[in-house]
A and B are shown apart, each in its own frame.
Chain A
Amino acid sequence: MSSVELKSIVKKYGEVTAVASIDLSVESGEFVTLLGPSGCGKTTTLRMVAGFIRPTSGTLSIGDVDMTGVPPHQRTVGLVFQNYALFPHMTVRKNVEFGLKMQKVLTSERGPRVQEALELVQLEALGERMPAELSGGQQQRVALARALVIRPDVLLLDEPFGALDKQLRDHMRVELRELQQKLKISTLFVTHDQDEALSMSDRIVVMSEGKVSQVGKPTEIYEKPQTRFVADFIGRSNILVGKVESKGKTINAEGLILPNKGNVVAGAEGISVMIRPECVEITQSGSKATSTSADVKGKVTASIYLGSIVQYSVQINKGPNLVVTQNNTGSENLKNLTVGDDVDVSFPDSAIYILPG
C-alpha cells in the first residue's frame, strides 16, 4: 500500500508551469525527500499533497483514497512548516490539542493523546509554556508533536530545519529520523540541503524546473547520477565533455585522456564525464607516485582551506582545470602544496563516472 501517490500531476499558473507532470509515490513507512534548488516546484508539490494548491491536472491519492479535490482540513496529513507556524496565543499543550479539537476527539481522550505526543518529543515538562518562551529546537519539536498527534496518514515536512543553526540542525536530523523509524510513519520531506537529503532519506526525488530529474536511494543519487543536473547539484563535481578515441580505449575529456571505463562505443562525442573531487589523488611532483590508471601532470592554481578538507584548483597540462579535495589528515604532503606547485594527478577507477545519455 502506498501512503501517497501522485499521478501525472501538473500545476500551471496562467502560462507559467510550476510543476510539469510528476509521478511520485511514498510507500508505507517510507521517508521520501524532494530535493532541488528553490523554484524547482518541490514546495508546490508538497502544498498540493497538503491540499493548499489544487493541481491543474492529474490525480493525487492519500492512503489509496483519491484526494485530488479534497480541501486540506478533510485530509489526514501532518504538516510541519519551515517557520513551525506555532499558534503564538496558545500554550504548547493547546497547540498540540488543537488538531484533536478540530477533529472532534472527545475531551477525555484528548489529554492522554496530547501527553503521549509531548512525551514522544520529550517536551512533557513544557506543556504550559508559550511558544515564544521556547528555543528553536523546542519549537520544532512542538510543531512535530502537533502534526503527529492527529495520527496522520503521511507526515509532510517543509524545510523544517531551515531556521536552526548548524549544530542543532545536525542533531534534530538524527532525532527526526529515529522518531520516523520508530513510528514507521510515511514521510514526505522537502529540502534544498543535499546533506539532509542524503543522510535521512530512504529515497530521494531530485527535482529541477518542475520535473523529476532522478529518483533513487541516496547512494544511487550520489554515485550514479542519471543527468548532468543531478551530478552538478549533488556534491562537488568536475563535469567534462569528451569524445571516445583510440578505437574506443580512451576518452578525451577536454584534453584529459581517461580510460573508457564505461565502454562507450567508439566515435561517440559529447559524453559527460563526472570526476568527483574527493576521488582524485594529487601528490607533489617528484615524490613517489602511486601507480594508477591515468597519471598526468598539473599545477596548483588555488588552494582553499575548509577545515576538514582542503580544496585545490589544479590546471592540468594541456587539459582542463579541475577541482580536487583532500582530507585534512595533517600529512606533510598536504601541508606542502601551495599555489604554483607542480603536481602529479592520478584518477583511480572509482573517480571516473560517465553520465548516461
Chain B
Amino acid sequence: MSSQEHYGSRLPYKFLIGVVTLVIFFLEAPLIILVIQSFTAESYLSFPPPSYGIRWYKEVLTSEDWLNSISLSLTIAAIVTPLSLVLGTMAAFALDRGPKKLKNGLQTIMIAPMVLPHIVLGLGLFKMALQLDIDDSMLAYIPAHLTITIPFVVISVGASLQTFEQSLEEAARSLGANRFWAVWYITLPIIRPALIAGGIFSFIISFDEFIITFFLTTFQRTLPIEMFSTLMYQVKPSIAAVSTLTLAVTAFLTAMLILRGQVTSGDKVIK
C-alpha cells in the first residue's frame, strides 16, 4: 500500500512507528503483567513470580464473599442486558422512523445520560432511591444501570438503522407482513451485528459499573465494589486473580463482538 508514503520522507514515519509502539505497550503491558502475576504460587505479589500455580483462583472461587459479589454482578448484568436491548432498540426505531424534525432533539435526550458524569447521576439516583426506599436492592440497581446502558444500544442500533434499506421492509409488507412481522423477520436479522454489539456493551458496562452502584448499596456488594473494598484494605494476589477473571469475561465478549461481526458479513459470501 502506497499510503505509507504520505509524507514523502521515511524518517518521520519510522519515528511515528516508534511512538505508536510505545503507546501500545503503555496500553497493553499493565494488563499482561496483571495476568501473569495472578498465577503466582506465592502469598505475595511480585514480578515475575518465583513460582506459578492457580492457588489464588482456587481461593477466589471458594470464597463466599467473592462468589456472592460475582453472582450479584452477573445477575444484574443478565437482567439489564435484555431490557436495555429491547428499550434501546425500540427507542432507536422511534428516532429512525419518527418525524424528522424532532429527531435531533429526541436523540439528544435519549443519549443525555452518557454525557452526564456518573458521579452526578449516581448522586441523583441515590437521592431518588432513598425517597422511594428502594436503595440497596435490585429495584434501584436495574433502572440505574439501564439508564447508562440504553444510550449505547440507541447509538449502535441507530447507526445500523440509518444504513438499513427501508425498501426491504416495504417489500415484506407488500408480501403480506404487517409492520411488526416485517421488522421481526427482515429488519432485526439484518441489523443483528448492531444488536449483538449493543447487548455486549450493555453487559460489560453493567458488569463493570462502580460509582453509581457504590452510592446505591449499603450491604450488598457487586464485584467492582467488592474489589474496591478489598483493595482499600490490602493488595493480595487474590485481587489479581479476580481481575484476570473479569478480564477473561470481557475479553471473551469482545472476541464475540468482533467474530460475530465478521461471521454476519462473511456468511453472505460463503454460504
Contacts and interface: CB of A to CB of B under 8 A. Distances in A.
Q: Do chains A and B touch in the complex (CB under 8 A)?
A: yes
A72 B186 contact: no
Contacts, number: 72
B185 interface: yes
Contacts of B170: 50, 52, 72, 79, 81, 85
Contacts of A87: 168, 171-172, 186, 190
A313 interface: no
Nearest to B182: A73
Interface in B154-190: 165, 167-168, 170-178, 181-182, 185-186, 189-190
A286 interface: no
A102 B165 contact: no
Contact of B174 (A72, A130, A133): A72
Given A87-B186, A89-B189, A146 B268 contact: no
A99 B172 CA distance: 7
Interface string A63-104: 000000001111101110101011111000000001100110
A296 B23 CA distance: 84
A83 B172 contact: no
A309 interface: no
Nearest to B270: A130
A331 to B, nearest CB: 50
B115 interface: no
A163 interface: no
Nearest to A89: B189
Nearest to A98: B175
B17 interface: no
B271 interface: yes
A75 B174 CA distance: 7
B102 to A, nearest CB: 15
A85 B268 contact: no
Given A87-B186, A89-B190, A130-B271, A150 B176 contact: yes
B189 A73 contact: no
A85 B175 contact: no
A268 interface: no
Interface residues of B, number: 21
* B171, B173, B175, B181, most chain A CB atoms within 10 A: B175
Contact of A102 (B168, B177, B190, B269): B177
A219 B177 CA distance: 40
Contacts of B268: 88-89, 130, 132
Contacts of B189: 89
A125 B168 CA distance: 24
B165 A83 contact: yes
A87 B168 CA distance: 6
A72 B173 contact: yes
Contact of B177 (A73, A81, A88): A73
B172 A81 contact: no
Given A89-B190, A132-B269, A150 B168 contact: no
Contacts of A98: 172, 175, 177, 185
Interface of A: 50-52, 71-75, 77-79, 81, 83, 85-89, 98-99, 102-103, 130, 132-133, 146-147, 150, 156
25 contacts: A51-B174, A71-B178, A72-B173, A73-B175, A73-B177, A73-B178, A75-B174, A79-B174, A81-B167, A81-B170, A81-B171, A85-B168, A88-B190, A88-B268, A89-B190, A98-B172, A98-B185, A99-B176, A102-B176, A102-B177, A130-B271, A132-B268, A133-B269, A147-B174, A150-B176
Interface of B: 165, 167-168, 170-178, 181-182, 185-186, 189-190, 268-269, 271
